[in-house]
Structure 1
C-alpha cells in the first residue's frame, strides 16, 4: 500500500460501504469510529462534522408543549374561579356596609332623632340605591336596610341583601 494507513490520510483507500463525508476546507479530513446514533448507509447521519442535528424526539419523551396546552385548558377555569371569589367578597362587604348603616340608624333613633334624619344617615352609609324602612312600636325602633348587590359577576345573580337593627328609645334624665 502506498502512503500511510492512518484513517485521516487522504491516500488511505476508502471502504465503499461507509458513507462518504465531504472534504473539509483546506484539505483537512477527520475520520471517526462508527457511532450507533448515525443513520444506516444511505440515510442521513444524526451527527455530521461534529454538529448535532435536532430530531423530532426530545429528551422529555415527546411531551414538549404539554404544559402550555394544560395551562390553556386550566386558565379559563381559574379566571371564572377568581371572578366568583371576588364576587363573593363584594357581597360580603355590601352586607357589612348595610349592617353598619342599620346600626347607625338605630343609634340615632335611640337618641330621639327624627325619622328623616335617621333615613339620611342610613342612606349616606348604605349608598344611594339602598331602601330604608324605619318603624317604631312600643318604644322600640326598627331600622331595616335593603340593597341590590351590583357588580360585574353578582349582577347576573340578582342578589338582594337586608340588614336590620333594633334600638329602644332613651329617656332623657
Structure 2
C-alpha cells in the first residue's frame, strides 16, 4: 500500500530496487523566517489597530459633545442658571468647554474639546458642536442640533 505524503519526495534512481526518499521539509536556513516576517509586520498591524481605535474614540467623543451641546441648549432655553448648564454638560462630557450666547428669543450653545486618544495626541484636532433652541414661551426656532466638525 502506498501512502502519499506531501513532505516526502522520491528521487529518481537508475539502479534497480527501491528509490531513495528525501525529506521536503524546509532547510535549516529557512527556520525562523515566519517569525522574522511576523516581527516586521507586527508594528504596522499595531499602528493600523491604534488608528482604528482612535477613530472610534474620536467619533464617540463627537457624539457625546453633540449630546452635551443639545442638553445645554435645552437647559438654557428653560431658563436654567449657567452653573446648572455647565453641570449638565459635565455630566455628559467632562472634558467639554461650553459657551452660551443669547440672541433675542434664541439660545446658542457651543461646546468644544480636544480629540481624545492617539488621534488627538498626533493631530491636535479640536472637536466642536453647536445647538440652538428657542427660549421657552417664545415664538421662533425649534430645538435643533447643528452638524459639528473637527479642525486641525
Larger gyration radius, structure 1 or structure 2: 1
Q: Does residue 75 of structure 1 match 2:42?
A: yes
Where relative contact order (Cα < 8 A, 6+ residues apart) is larger, the structure is 2
Q: CA RMSD in A?
A: 2.7
* Unaligned stretches of 5+ residues in structure 1: 1-32, 39-45, 47-56
Tell me which of 109, 114, 120 is aligned to 1:143. Answer: 109
Q: Which ranges of 4 or more aligned residues in structure 1 deviate by more than 4 Å?
A: 33-36, 60-64
> TM-score under structure 1 normalisation?
0.60
* Unaligned stretches of 5+ residues in structure 2: 1-15, 139-152
Corresponding residue for residue 171 of structure 1 = 137
Q: Does residue 131 of structure 1 match 2:97?
A: yes
Q: Does residue 88 of structure 1 match 2:55?
A: yes
Structure whose residues are more often strand by fraction:
2
Tell me which of 83, 86, 103 is aligned to 1:119. Answer: 86
Corresponding residue for residue 77 of structure 2 = 110
* Paired residues, number: 122
Query: 1:154 & 1:109 partners in 2: Cα distance?
Result: 30
Structure whose residues are more often helix by fraction:
2
